[in-house]
């Protein structure tokens, strides 16, 4: 594990691997290692293990620990490994300590389980989590954990909290948060954490949010990286092409089934030759016709990229 601060190491395309399960439903650590290794070798800038795409909600604590440790070993310091944590404060701290023992570089704090807390409760939850671990914390804003600018400022003042990942998609709120934190002379890393972040990456970039997670990287790293390079280079022709022929249709396809932000991604990883198994309940496998349509989108995007020389 490197001693460089996590905030200085988070760059490039952020990889959120799926968690591999064997036919009997148990974690398949060998397959998970292979999936993580393939992503790092393909050019991932960081590995976010056992987060939303990795079915954090479905993992027992000891399974979580083993998967995080496997990701850390595969990364071997080449890229940082950030582990998910969540549920109520006590369980979030427990997972944080397991991740720390496993060698993770940081934490992504998923929304608290079930309850809709007020701002004081959310602030207490995240500050207690940050105080209980030596790992840096990125707060994931979405669903029942939506912050006001004042709360974001308070989090930016909190030792150990280094970032805010937005899965809400309210650009007006994000601009207010970025402005409020900046006006106080504070720093946070900001991440676009929408399920298919490439669709909105250009809009987020306009308010200074350049980091984003890519679910598509799990099954089509070449397409995800082509978009990332084009966006960074200001190559509007390529980014527009990929939005039109791949990412927008992917978002529309994802909306056809419950849980498709995970199950459709995992099915596409399997179809690409990585035997990562099925999703765990309460998620269900996607309609095979939808998987076939996704694979056709992948083939079309690759053909057009080749034709364009991108």
Give 42-51 pLDDT, tens digit per residue: 999 999 999 9
Task: State the pLDDT at residue 308.
Answer: 85
The active-site residue out of 126, 140, 190, 204 is: 140
For the chain, domains (ranges, CATH) are: 6-233 (3.20.20.70)
Catalytic annotation present for 165: yes
Catalytic annotation present for 140: yes
Judge whether 28 and 277 are in contact, CB under 8 Å. Answer: yes
SS (H, E, C) 169-195: CCHHHHHHHHHHHHHCCCCCEEEECCC
290/254 Cα distance (integer angstroms): 9
pLDDT in tens, 66-119: 999 999 999 999 999 999 999 999 999 999 999 999 999 999 999 999 999 999
Task: State the pLDDT at residue 309.
Answer: 81
Task: State the pLDDT at residue 107.
Answer: 98
Per-chain mean pLDDT for the chain: 97
Element (H, E) at 191: strand 189-192
The active-site residue out of 87, 113, 126, 165 is: 165
What would the two tokens of residue 235 be?
Answer: 């190559």
44-to-14, 24, 127, 220 alpha-carbon distances in Å: 6, 30, 30, 12
**Residue 35 reports pLDDT greater than 70:** yes
Neighbours of 37 (CB within 10 A): 18
Burial class (CB in 10 A: 0-12, 13-18, 19+), 236: exposed
pLDDT in tens, 161-172: 999 999 999 999
241/144 Cα distance (integer angstroms): 34
Q: CA 146, 143, 45 angle in degrees (round to 5)?
A: 85
**Residue 265 reports pLDDT greater than 50:** yes
């Amino acid at each position: 594990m490197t001693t460089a601060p996590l905030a200085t190491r988070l760059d490039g395309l952020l990889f959120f691997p799926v968690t591999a399960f064997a036919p009997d439903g148990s974690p398949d650590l060998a397959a998970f290692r292979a999936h993580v290794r393939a992503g790092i070798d393909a050019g991932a800038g960081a590995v976010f293990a056992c987060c939303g795409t990795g079915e954090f909600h479905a993992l027992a604590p000891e399974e979580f620990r083993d998967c995080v440790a496997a990701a850390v070993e595969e990364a071997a310091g080449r890229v940082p490994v950030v582990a998910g944590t969540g549920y109520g404060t006590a369980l979030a701290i427990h997972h944080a300590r397991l991740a720390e023992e496993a060698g993770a570089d940081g934490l992504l704090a998923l929304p608290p389980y079930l309850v809709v807390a007020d701002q004081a409760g959310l602030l207490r939850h995240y500050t207690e989590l940050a105080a209980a671990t030596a790992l840096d914390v990125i707060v994931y804003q979405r669903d029942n954990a939506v912050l006001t600018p004042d709360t974001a400022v308070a989090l930016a003042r909190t030792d150990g909290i280094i970032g805010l990942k937005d899965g809400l998609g309210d650009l007006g709120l994000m601009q207010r948060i970025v402005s409020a934190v900046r006006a106080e002379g504070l720093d946070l890393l900001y991440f676009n954490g929408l399920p298919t972040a490439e669709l909105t990456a250009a809009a987020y970039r306009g308010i200074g949010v350049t980091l984003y997670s890519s679910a598509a990287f799990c099954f089509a790293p070449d397409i995800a990286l082509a978009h990332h390079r084009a966006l960074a280079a200001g190559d509007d022709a390529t980014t527009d092409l990929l939005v039109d022929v791949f990412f927008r249709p992917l978002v529309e396809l994802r909306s056809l089934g419950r849980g498709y932000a995970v199950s459709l991604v995992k099915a596409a990883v399997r179809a690409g030759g990585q035997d990562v198994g099925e999703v765990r309940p309460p998620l269900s496998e996607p309609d095979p016709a939808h998987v076939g349509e996704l694979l056709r989108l992948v083939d079309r995007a690759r053909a057009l990229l080749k034709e364009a020389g991108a």
